[in-house]
Amino acid sequence: MRRALTAVLGTGALLLAMLVAVALPASAAPGTLKESAAAKGRVFGAAAATAHMGESAYAATLDREFNQLTPENEMKWATTEPSRNSFDFGPADQLVSHAQAQSMKIRGHTLVWHNQLPDWVSGISSRDDLLSAMRNHIAKEAGHYAGKVAYWDVVNEAFQDGSGARRDSVFQRVIGDSYMEEAFRAARAADPSAKLCYNDYNIDGQNAKSNAVYNMVKDFKARGVPIDCVGLQAHLTLGAVPSDMQTNMQRFADLGVDVHITELDIRMSTPPDSSKLATQANDYKKVVSACLAVSRCTVITVWGVTDKYSWIPDVFPGEGAALLFDGNYAKKPAYDAALQALGGEDPGDPGDPGDPGAVTCTYARTAQWNGGFNGQVTIKAGATAVASWTVVMTMGSGQQIVALWNGTASTSGNVVTVKPVGWNGSLAPGASASYGFTVNAPTGNTADPVISCGTP
Ligand code: G3I
């Protein structure tokens, strides 16, 4: 809100904008991901697993922050129909009941996928037989959850990286290209109220694979095959958010489907450090902002509640720390950045499990000119006094801080860590301190820094 105001008003009206910004009560901004997403007409979800629901911090974090739940493994074919026509919905039902009790939407994941597929399916060699098994699986599973699931990932990961050709799965080999539309038609018949999505990874930017998905969606829309949404999984690596992610989402939206970010995580080499975490925060901000810029991008779901249980270290040894909460359920800088991008503000309630500290921080641009600007960061204590604070600022490329007052700064690449000068470190409950700085932006990049703060 503050940034939008200063961006639309000219320099002449800057003083007025500053006064308006100062007048906005901090409590006006929503304090959790789900609240701030809802205020923007979006849904913010997480993948969750039955196995962890008994852990109180896990369930509490899930319930507090997210309003959509994707069962991480429990709705996959190997779990729900391990032998032919014998169904087990027990583990998924637990998650669905939990989600319903919390008024969370449910994403069904996934009906047709080459992975986590029972051997009896992989062994079918007759087209009619496999088509009948697939139709039955979809009818029974989507039928079981009819009216309860908001979105289904009907078909998952059916295209190859690089070429964008169809993936060589048993469905592709035995049924042929038509298996996908057969799956979507069966899903619509089983649950007419669920939004039906195609879901894949490495289709977050424009490339041969996302082009292939685009052509498939275009063809489905032209021929009346029921499809409502495309899921961009967004399993990303640090510092590599595709620069054309927004354009890519928009082209799908222009075909008349919703776009969902379905499995967002941004992995880094472990252990994390403040510089990597700041880059990750900036990456999350980019993804959330890209989604908000596309009106049909309606859902953002992260692939897990906590780094503790992420799939990444199992598959990419030496990498991890990809999510918004660390292994102790503390909010990471990426959390603050995602919340900030959604227009929310962390209330800094020290009673929250894993809250990184009892301070919140807000940023305001206080002056600007051709090639630079002044900024001010205000750090506010929550319900308890704090002895000190730290703010991490990620600067835009080409920017340089040339002066900073009422704080001490150390710089590593584009990450600037600011600590108190001494007299403004200790804050009584509800008290605040501010520091200011001047940024030179010779290349014309006057983007605001991404900030996060804590109480080390
Ligand atoms: O349940 C068994 C357990 O009994 C056994 O002791 C243990 C030993 O390794 O394995 C457990 O199963 C594991 C399962 O997750 C549940 O934890 C599997 O080995 C493991 O392969 C499986 O990994 C899942 C992976 O899909 C399978 O491909 C991950 O949790 C899950 O996060 C991941 O999710 C996928 C999405 O569905 C599709 N997009 C990519 C995404 C990441 O790979």
- Contact between 289 and 272 under an 8 Å Cβ cutoff? The reply is no
| Angle, CA of 259, 75 and 249, to the nearest 5° | 10
Answer for the pair 453, 390: CB distance below 8 angstroms, yes or no.
yes
Ligand 1, atom 42, lies closest to the CA of 311
Are 5-27+355-454 and 33-341 the same fold in CATH? no
Q: Which atom of ligand 1 is nearest to the CA of 51?
A: 17
CA dist 193 → 109, 112, 136, 232, 381 (Å):
16, 19, 19, 21, 46
Residue 239 and residue 23: Cα distance in Å, rounded? 36
Model-wide pTM > 0.85: no
- CA pair distance 197, 346, nearest whole angstrom: 32
pLDDT at 348: 60
Low-confidence ranges of the chain (pLDDT < 50): 1-27, 349-356
**Rounded distance between C-alpha atoms, residue 384 and residue 101, angstroms:** 33
Query: 76 CA to middle of ligand 1, Å?
Result: 10
| Ligand 1 atom nearest to CA at 156 | 38
Question: Using a 6 Å cutoff on CB, does residue 51 contact ligand 1?
Answer: no
- Counting from 1 in the atom list of ligand 1, the atom nearest the Cα of 201 is 39
Listed residue (69, 75, 99, 48) closest to 191, CA to CA? 75
Give the integer Cα–Cα distance in Å for 315 and 312. Answer: 5
157 is catalytic: yes
Answer CATH for 5-27+355-454 from 3.40.50.300, 3.40.50.980, 2.60.40.290, 3.20.20.10: 2.60.40.290
Yes or no: say if 153 and 110 are a contact pair by the CB < 8 Å rule: yes
Using CA positions, which residue lies closest to atom 35 of ligand 1?
Answer: 72
Write the residue with the smallest CA distance to atom 3 of ligand 1: 51
CA–centroid distance, residue 211 to ligand 1 (Å): 28
Residue of 116, 311, 319 to mutate, ligand 1, most atoms within 8 A of C-beta: 311
The yes-or-no answer on residue 181 being catalytic is no
Closest C-alpha to ligand 1, atom 12: 73
Question: Which pLDDT does position 442 carry in this prediction?
Answer: 93
What confidence score (pLDDT) does residue 55 get? Answer: 97
* Domain extent listing, the chain: 5-27+355-454, 33-341
List pLDDT tens digits, range 192-222: 999 999 999 999 999 999 999 999 999 999 9
Compute the distance from residue 170 Cα to the ligand 1 centre, in Å.
Answer: 20
Output the residue whose Cα is nearest ligand 1's atom 20. Answer: 311
- Give the helix/strand (H/E) hosting 138: helix 127-144
How far apart CA 288 and CA 298 sit, in angstroms, is 11
Cβ–Cβ under 8 Å, residues 412 and 326: no
Within 303-421, residue ranges assigned H as helices are: 312-315, 333-341
Question: Where does residue 122 rank: exposed (0-12), middle (13-18), buried (19+ CB within 10 A)?
Answer: middle
Q: What is the CATH code of the structural domain delimited by 33-341?
A: 3.20.20.80
For residue 256, the model assigns a pLDDT of 98
Ligand 1 atom closest to Cα of residue 304? 32
Ligand 1 mean position, distance from CA 11 (Å): 54
Residue 312 CB partners (closer than 8 Å, separation 6+): 265, 267, 319, 320, 322
One-letter amino acid at 418 equals V
- Residue 401 burial (10 A CB sphere; 0-12, 13-18, 19+): middle
Cα of 109 vs centre of ligand 1, distance in Å, is 13
Q: From the candidates 65, 74, 141, 157, which is the catalytic residue?
A: 157
Tell me the residue length of the chain: 456
CA 197 to each of CA 184, 191, 217, 405: distance values in angstroms, whole numbers, following the listed order: 9, 13, 10, 51
Give pLDDT, residue 308. 98
